[in-house]
Amino acid sequence: MRLRLGSIIAQASLPMLTRLDPELAHDLGLAGLRWLRPLLPAHRVADDLKVRCFGLEFAHPVGLAAGFDKNGDYLDALGAVGFSHIELGTVTPRPQAGNSKPRMFRIPEARALINRMGFNNEGVDHLAERMTRSRYSGIRGISIGKNAATPIENAADDYVACLRKIYGCADYVAVNVSSPNTARLRELQARDGLERVLGALLEERRVLQSRFGKRVPLLVKVSPDLEPAQIASVGRDLRALKVDGVIATNTTTDTSLLDAARSARERGGLSGAPLHRLSLRVIRQLRAELGADFPIVGVGGIMTAEDARTTLEAGADLIQMYTGFAFRGPALIDEILGTLSAR
User: How far is residue 263's CA from residue 310's CA, in Å, rounded to a whole number?
Assistant: 26
CB of 290 to ligand FMN, least distance (A): 19
Give me the least distance between CB of 304 and ligand FMN, in Å please: 12
Burial label, 331 (beta-carbon count in 10 A; 0-12, 13-18, 19+): middle
The residues that bridge with 241 in the sheet, in sequence order, are none
CB of 46 to ligand FMN, least distance (A): 24
Would you say 156 or 303 has its CB closer to ligand FMN? 303
Which one from 7, 84, 179, 223 is the annotated catalytic residue? 179
Q: Helices 124-133 and 155-166: crossing angle, nearest 10°?
A: 20
Alpha helices in the chain (DSSP H): 4-17, 22-36, 75-79, 124-133, 155-166, 191-212, 228-241, 260-265, 276-290, 305-314, 323-328, 331-342
Of residues 6 and 105, the one with the C-beta less far from ligand FMN: 105
Measured from the CB of residue 43, what is the shortest distance to ligand FMN in angstroms?
20
Strand pairing category for 56-58 and 51-53: antiparallel
Quote the CA–CA distance of 37 and 156 in Å, as a whole number: 38
93 in Cβ contact with 149 (< 8 Å): no
**d(C-alpha 152, C-alpha 158), whole Å:** 10
Nearer to ligand FMN, 7 or 120 (CB): 120
Cα-based distances in Å from 142 to 27, 34, 268, 309: 20, 20, 23, 25
Closest approach of Cβ 23 to ligand FMN, in Å? 8
Nearer to ligand FMN, 282 or 302 (CB): 302
In angstroms, rounded to a whole number, what is the distance separating the alpha carbons of residues 238 and 195? 9
Amino acid at 2: R
Between 285 and 320, name the residue whose CB sits nearer to ligand FMN: 320
Which helix (H) or strand (E) element contains residue 97?
Answer: none
Q: 51 or 144, CB closer to ligand FMN?
A: 144
Please, what sign has the CA dihedral across residues 144, 145, 147, 150? Answer: positive
Minimum CB–partner distance for residue 62 and ligand FMN (Å): 11
> How many Cα neighbours within 13 Å face the side chain of 18?
19
84 part of the active site: no
Going from the C-alpha of 33 to that of each of 30, 67, 137, 206, the distances in angstroms are 5, 17, 17, 38
**Nearer CB in complex with ligand FMN: 33/299:** 299
Residues of this chain that interact with ligand FMN (CB under 6 A) are 65-67, 70, 89-90, 104, 113, 115, 117, 143, 176, 179, 221, 250-251, 271-272, 275, 299-302, 321-324
Minimum distance from residue 178 beta carbon to ligand FMN (Å): 7
Instruction: Give the span between the Cα atoms of 341 and 335, in whole angstroms.
Output: 10
Which residue's Cβ has the minimum distance to ligand FMN?
A: 67
Which positions are catalytic? 179
